[in-house]
Amino acid sequence: MKKILVTGGLGFIGSHTVVELQNEGYDVVIIDDLSNASIDVIEGITEITGISPMFEKIDLKEKSSVEHFFQKHNDISGVIHFAASKAVGESVAKPLLYYENNLNTLIYVLKEVLNLKSSNFIFSSSCTVYGQADEMPITENAPVKPAESPYGNTKQIGEEIIKDTCKVNANLNAIALRYFNPIGAHSSAKIGELPIGVPQNLVPFITQTAAGLRECLSVFGNNYPTSDGTCIRDYIHVVDLAKAHVVALQRLLEAKNSSNFETFNVGTGVGSSVLEVIQSFEKVSGQSLNYKIAPRREGDVVKAYANTKKANAVLGWEAKSTLDDAMLSAWKWEQNIRNLK
CB of residue 197 vs ligand WQD: minimum separation in angstroms?
13
Q: Which is nearer to ligand WQD, 104 or 201 (CB)?
A: 201
Residue whose C-beta lies closest to ligand WQD: 231
CB of residue 72 vs ligand WQD: minimum separation in angstroms?
30
Is 151 among the catalytic positions? Answer: yes
CB of residue 27 vs ligand WQD: minimum separation in angstroms?
27
Q: Which is nearer to ligand WQD, 29 or 275 (CB)?
A: 275
Which parts of this chain interact with ligand WQD (CB under 6 A)?
Answer: 86, 88, 126, 128, 179, 181, 200-202, 205, 217-220, 231, 233, 274, 297, 300
CB of residue 142 vs ligand WQD: minimum separation in angstroms?
15
Which of 151, 224, 235, 305 is catalytic? The answer is: 151
CB of residue 186 vs ligand WQD: minimum separation in angstroms?
19
Q: How far apart are CA 157 and CA 328, in angstroms?
A: 35
Q: Which is nearer to ligand WQD, 9 or 69 (CB)?
A: 9
Q: Which is nearer to ligand WQD, 121 or 224 (CB)?
A: 224
Q: Which is nearer to ligand WQD, 76 or 319 (CB)?
A: 319
Q: Which positions are annotated as active-site residues?
A: 151
